[in-house]
A and B are shown apart, each in its own frame.
Chain A
Amino acid sequence: AQKVTQAQTEISVVEKEDVTLDCVYETRDTTYYLFWYKQPPSGELVFLIRRNSFDEQNEISGRYSWNFQKSTSSFNFTITASQVVDSAVYFCALRDPYSNSGYALNFGKGTSLLVTP
């Protein structure tokens, strides 16, 4: 079964601290696609990154970085020098080829990040 686990329900950090959001996934496929989305208080889901299973390179985008490790089925997200604007709920997702459409995203429960000044 396809499954995404975000064990951290809520994280609170002080501005400028680094924070890592964990994502562990389960899949029986050898080819799969993982995603991270950000949901600010306004509610819109903002796409952050997509990673294909055959591309194990880590990714850095400004203060954001992602660590993809197939050996541990993890796709963790790190924010360096966090800012108040980073406060949001962050979702990890895995495309489910076994859904009716074949393209449904299986989302984790999300991690609520609060960055305080």
Chain B
Amino acid sequence: SQTIHQWPATLVQPVGSPLSLECTVEGTSNPNLYWYRQAAGRGLQLLFYSVGIGQISSEVPQNLSASRPQDRQFILSSKKLLLSDSGFYLCAWSSGGADTQYFGPGTRLTVL
């Protein structure tokens, strides 16, 4: 069966510091991968989407970037964090673009 991992689980970072969040998927190959952010108030928004290694699509302009160095690895990064980057970051995978998205356990980021 497929498993999706995210780390770290929680992170507290000062404003202006860099960020690297990692997501890995097991038990499947060539998945579609997604980064969502859940801000206060519970709304979830898709940030990035990837159909393959090195292929990244951005949904909204922002301070963050994403990379996919390996088939089942998806990384969310920032060079300089802003207060507004605080939130709960969820990684998800699907077999195909139109298939059901399955979510990881999430990373709670607090920027102080």
Contact = CB atoms under 8 A, between A and B. Distances in A.
A91 B62 CA distance: 25
Interface string A37-52: 1000011111100100
B103 A45 contact: yes
Contact of B98 (A44, A95, A99): A95
A104 B49 contact: yes
B41 interface: yes
> For chain B, what secondary structure do more than half of its interface residues adopt (helix, strand, loop), or is it mixed?
strand
A76 to B, nearest CB: 19
Interface residues of B, number: 26
Interface of A: 33, 35, 37, 42-47, 50, 89, 91, 95, 99-105, 107, 109-110
25 contacts: A35-B100, A37-B103, A42-B105, A43-B88, A43-B106, A43-B108, A44-B103, A44-B104, A44-B105, A45-B44, A45-B90, A47-B102, A89-B42, A91-B44, A101-B49, A101-B97, A103-B34, A103-B49, A103-B101, A104-B46, A104-B49, A105-B36, A105-B46, A107-B43, A107-B44
Q: 5 closest pairs, A vs B, by CB?
A: A101-B49, A45-B103, A104-B46, A103-B97, A107-B44
Interface of B: 32, 34, 36, 41-44, 46, 49, 57-59, 88, 90, 92, 94, 97-98, 100-106, 108
